[in-house]
Amino acid sequence: MDYGKHYSVMKSDVIQLLRDNFPIDGNFNFSDLTFGAGGHTCEIAHLYNNAHVYSFDQDPEAIENGKSRLVKEGLEKRVHLIHSNFTFFEESLPSGLLLDAVLLDAGVSSHQFDKAERGFSFRFDAPLDMRMNPSVGASAADLLNGMTASELEGIFREYGEEKFSKQISQAIVDFRKTKRIETTKELENICFHAYPKKLRHGKIHPATKTFQALRIKVNDEIKVLEDVIGQVIPRLALNGIFMVISFHSLEDRVFKRGFKDWKEEAYPIEILTKKPLLPTEKEIFENSRSRSAKLRVIRRVKDWPSKNKYPRKE
Ligand SMILES: C[S@@+](CC[C@H](N)C(=O)[O-])C[C@H]1O[C@@H](n2cnc3c(N)ncnc32)[C@H](O)[C@@H]1O
């Protein structure tokens, strides 16, 4: 798989935020929760050449690719790749380490979408897998074949905001009477025929929202975002910043509410983006995937109120 042509979303905004807040010749501890193709990590590690970087990815392919990229770019001594879900953030970092900046660029990478065998996309006919880490948890096919119509309907409605959740989940259950659903194309077809005839050829394909919902469920994407906020904030150094890039309203809502909630709990954080930063028209033109991106940032502004080094919200 070619990781070479990856376009990192809102990279220049992220770099500008860092430059505005941290001198490039100082000591700098950074963590990238979503290494992906390494676009953000490597740019930041080159810019801050004293930086120590801790980059997570749960996808074994991203880690394998990352190892050789880091060696090629001479960064392997300062960038520590951690093959783990970032839900294990706190326990994966050296104890006592405080971070000047943390970045989370949510969701799946274009490589995951574009590699047929990963089963994320109905552009290809492939087994329905959708796990970012294929050796952990149930595949999309296992979930689809194991859930009741009302469970499926709830997932499609909650994570896909799909208007025809009921029709699609009923069609899935009907299909299963003859055989298990195994492939992306089978699910695409089911969604297509579950839609009212006159809406089947609209701007958005009838399977789009169902695929999104299923992917979010398979990887528990909303829950891990909720969990990680409470692990990152206590690890921020004084004046440390946490930057998050989201791609749909469900993700953005987690950050918007989560940050507000932590601030109200008297945690010494400041929300730097009352409104999220958005990509420029130029970026959207160059990379259409960035069109729905939103960047929110918080900063730790004071010492923790307690003697405990890493106070955790109960
Ligand atoms: C949008 S891509 C990141 C792209 C990256 N910023 C770049 O510039 O190349 C998201 C990456 O995060 C990883 N990822 C998503 N959720 C994760 C999680 N909960 N734990 C660890 N990695 C995750 C995915 O496997 C994917 O490789």
What CATH number is attached to the domain comprising 231? Answer: 3.40.50.150
Among 109, 118, 218, the mutation site with the greatest number of ligand 1 atoms within 8 A of its Cβ is 109
pLDDT band at 234 (very low <50, low <70, confident <90, very high): very high
Ligand 1 within 6 A of CB of 14: no
Is there a single domain that holds both residue 201 and residue 264?
no
**What is the mean predicted confidence (pLDDT) over 198-205?**
94
Is there a single domain that holds both residue 207 and residue 121?
yes
What Rg value do the Cα atoms of the chain yield, rounded? 21
**What is the mean predicted confidence (pLDDT) over 130-140?**
96
First to last CA, the chain: 43
Is there a single domain that holds both residue 121 and residue 246?
no
Ligand 1 within 6 A of CB of 160: no
Q: 56 C-alpha vs ligand 1 centroid, how far in Å?
A: 8
Please state the atom number of ligand 1 nearest to the C-alpha of residue 86.
20
Ligand 1 within 6 A of CB of 251: no
Is there a single domain that holds both residue 87 and residue 130?
no
Tell me how long the chain is: 314
Taking CA atoms, 163 is separated from 7, 157, 173, 210, in Å, by 32, 7, 18, 10
Ligand 1 within 6 A of CB of 86: yes
Is there a single domain that holds both residue 157 and residue 36?
no
Is there a single domain that holds both residue 134 and residue 190?
yes
Domain that holds residue 191: 116-218
> What per-residue string of b and e applies to 119-137 under the rule 16 or more CB within 10 Å gives b?
bbbbebebebbbbbbbeee
Taking CA atoms, 204 is separated from 207, 208, 290, in Å, by 8, 7, 17
In eight-state DSSP terms, residue 107 is: S
Is there a single domain that holds both residue 173 and residue 245?
no
Ligand 1 within 6 A of CB of 231: no
**What's the total number of domains in the chain?**
2
Residue 1 lies in a domain: no
Q: What's residue 12's pLDDT?
A: 96
Residue 201 lies in a domain: yes
Q: From atom 8 of ligand 1, which residue's Cα is the shortest distance away?
A: 39
Q: What's residue 56's pLDDT?
A: 98
Is there a single domain that holds both residue 104 and residue 227?
yes
15, 17, 20, 26: CA torsion to nearest 10: -60
Q: 110 C-alpha vs ligand 1 centroid, how far in Å?
A: 10
Per-residue model confidence as pLDDT tens digits over 49-74: 999 999 999 999 999 999 999 999 99
Return the residue matching tokens 């120590």.
52
pTM of the model as a whole: 0.94
Q: 173 C-alpha vs ligand 1 centroid, how far in Å?
A: 32
